[in-house]
Structure 1
Amino acid sequence: MGWLHPNIGLLTAKLDRAKFPLRYCKPLVNPLQEGIKNHFGLMSQDPELVAAAILLPKFKCTWSTDDVTIRMRLCFAVSQTGEERLKQVTGEFITFPIPRKEGGTLVYNTKNIAVVVKGNMDIYQDSFKDRIHWDQETGLFTIRDLKTNDSGIYKVDGRNGIHSSYQLTVYEPVSSPILTSAGNESCSVECSVKNDRDVTLSWYRGEEILNRTSSSNLSINLFLPLDEEVKDRDIYRCEAANPVTKENLTFQFPQFCKGTDFDSERTRQLGIFALICILIAIIGLVAIYLKTRQREIKDPSNQDVSLYAEVNCSRSRNNQEVQSSILELDRLSKNTERKTVYDQLQLRHMSSGVINIA
């Protein structure tokens, strides 16, 4: 039975003249404390009027000839009963949207943390030192380098008693999800992520969501299996998200479902590469050994040589031949390493008087 605007409210109520005397239509002194009952009598039973009186501190009344019409046209700043919700990630900044160009107070969980008077700002909480900024041109308060413990209720109070409230929640960036597979014929794939506040874990096929999970237990990891038969041509996506950040992993069957996860696949490739290197090294060593062995077989200087010579000696006419044979043996002995010469001497009686030495 009425209409309300967030900044300028208009409430119209048609009442019986007898139930609503003109004397009750007067400005409210402090509707937040005294309430509508002290000013409107019987009309306090109307829930819309009660809500309007709590939100709207000023009004005026006009009358029509047929019935009593109360029109409350209000120029006011709303004192909200609920807070506007703000969300941000750690390390970033937040700016409260309601300006206070003439100065004001920034309140955190009922404690004043910053006060601006005549363009000068004082900060009263050490945890916010060097992190709160008030822009003199725009009149906006900003908190920088946000931390998770900055979450809470903030109020920006103006010098005219008008204030706005905000519920700020600061989140850590969501962790990257991890994919694992069982490697069977149906390619059983599971996605997991570290749990945190308001984290959800979801499976998508293209843009179609397949399933989702979350948990209020922040000490555990979230696990979500892909509960359907994986098709070769479909692209699947595992998404970990909170209200301010998200991380994704995508895969297709041929590239992933081989019985390993991403890390073990890389480990397998490195193992194969190392095995190939070891085999090449072994083959090289064997080749070097065989080549060296073959060279030793072909090189006569590395073998023992035995020379056998038959020496015939005569007393007179064969002396020169004996000497030349001895010199030849001596020469061969010097030119050949590790050579052994065996001499076998035999004494025979010859009629001619010649001694044969063999």
Structure 2
Amino acid sequence: MRIDFHLNVIVEISVMEGDSVTLNCDLTEIKDNDVIQWFGNENTLIAEIHKRADRFTVYDDVLDGRFRDRLKLDNQTGSLTITNTTTEHTVFYYLIFTSRLSSKSFRVSVYARLPVPVISRDCSSSSSSSSSCSLVCSSVVNVSHVTLSWYKGISVLSSISASDLSISLSLPLEVEYQDKNTYSCVLNNPISNQTTHLDINTLCHTCAGI
């Protein structure tokens, strides 16, 4: 028998790795006849509520145990909280009110915490001269869905992006020794960033013979 659900709302949520995320039912109180089911990856049951039977159950061993000890049901509102999130929790979640013939979808994106980018002097660069020096900014670990950029003041000079964990990011910059402008290297993803400011006087005099 096919049951058609309605009121399918899609909610977009972005959080940092390690944070908690709450998927709201938008209820103030669960009624006696309410049956609520939560699915991860669209078709895997991860939690359910049968109010009349007073059953509030989480199935945290499914999907290779990625939800183990991380699922919490609100016994009053039916909302589901995922604690201590990791990037593995970036999936599509689905809520079904069986008793109300309605549903709600959540697209959750969990982003890895960003490292501080590192600026170093490139002493091997052939482009360095007596009046300028070559620098390189890089990420210290590989993270996904990030952009590395050089800024001059508030203007972007250059940038490079990657979504593949196997790709390491680095970006060169050539500056004059007497340059008085403010430069910074920024590593960012859609919800956060890390910035390192360039100290020309320190880094441009670190190579042997200069």
- So what's the TM-score if we normalise by structure 2? 0.77
Q: 1:116 aligns with which of 25, 49, 57?
A: 49
1:1-358 correspondence runs (5 A)? 78-80=7-9, 83-100=10-27, 101-102=29-30, 103=34, 104-109=36-41, 110-118=43-51, 120-126=55-61, 127=65, 128-158=67-97, 159-182=99-122, 184=128, 185-193=131-139, 194-226=141-173, 229=176, 232-260=179-207
**CA distance in structure 2 between the partners assigned to 1:213 and 1:231 by the alignment:** 27
Residue 200 (structure 1) shift: 0.8
- Looking at secondary structure, tell me which structure has more helix per residue: 1
**CA distance in structure 2 between the partners assigned to 1:233 and 1:120 by the alignment:** 67
**CA distance in structure 2 between the partners assigned to 1:153 and 1:129 by the alignment:** 18
Any stretches of 5+ residues in structure 2 without a counterpart? none
**CA distance in structure 2 between the partners assigned to 1:120 and 1:99 by the alignment:** 20
Residue 230 (structure 1) shift: 6.6
Cα separation, partners in 2 of 1:223 and 1:230, compared to 1, 3 Å: farther
What is the aligned residue count? Answer: 187
Any stretches of 5+ residues in structure 1 without a counterpart? 1-29, 34-56, 58-76, 265-358
Amino acid at match of 1:79: N
Percent identity, aligned pairs only, is 28
**CA distance in structure 1 between the partners assigned to 2:101 and 2:175 by the alignment:** 59
Coordinate RMSD, CA, aligned: 2.6
CA contact (8 A) 1:202 1:239 kept: yes
**CA distance in structure 1 between the partners assigned to 2:163 and 2:68 by the alignment:** 33
Cα separation, partners in 2 of 1:137 and 1:230, compared to 1, 3 Å: farther
Cα separation, partners in 2 of 1:214 and 1:195, compared to 1, 3 Å: farther
Residue 189 (structure 1) shift: 1.4
CA contact (8 A) 1:233 1:252 kept: no
Counterpart of 1:254 in 2: which secondary structure? helix
- Looking at secondary structure, tell me which structure has more strand per residue: 2
**CA distance in structure 2 between the partners assigned to 1:225 and 1:146 by the alignment:** 34
Structure number, greater radius of gyration: 1
Amino acid at match of 2:20: F
Counterpart of 2:8 in 1: which secondary structure? coil
CA contact (8 A) 2:96 2:103 kept: yes
**CA distance in structure 2 between the partners assigned to 1:237 and 1:112 by the alignment:** 47
Cα separation, partners in 2 of 1:125 and 1:134, compared to 1, 3 Å: closer
Cα separation, partners in 2 of 1:257 and 1:139, compared to 1, 3 Å: same
**CA distance in structure 2 between the partners assigned to 1:111 and 1:96 by the alignment:** 16
Q: Which runs of 4+ in 1 moved over 6 A?
A: none
CA contact (8 A) 2:187 2:195 kept: yes
Counterpart of 1:92 in 2: which secondary structure? coil
Amino acid at match of 1:190: V
Residue 173 (structure 1) shift: 1.0
Counterpart of 1:249 in 2: which secondary structure? strand
Counterpart of 1:212 in 2: which secondary structure? strand
- So what's the TM-score if we normalise by structure 1? 0.47
Q: Which whole-Å deviations, capped at 9, do the CAs of 1:163-211 have from their partners, x for residues lacking one?
A: 1111112222122211112364312111111332101101112222221
Greater relative contact order: 1 or 2 (C-alpha under 8 angstroms, separation 6 or more)?
Answer: 2
Cα separation, partners in 2 of 1:134 and 1:231, compared to 1, 3 Å: farther
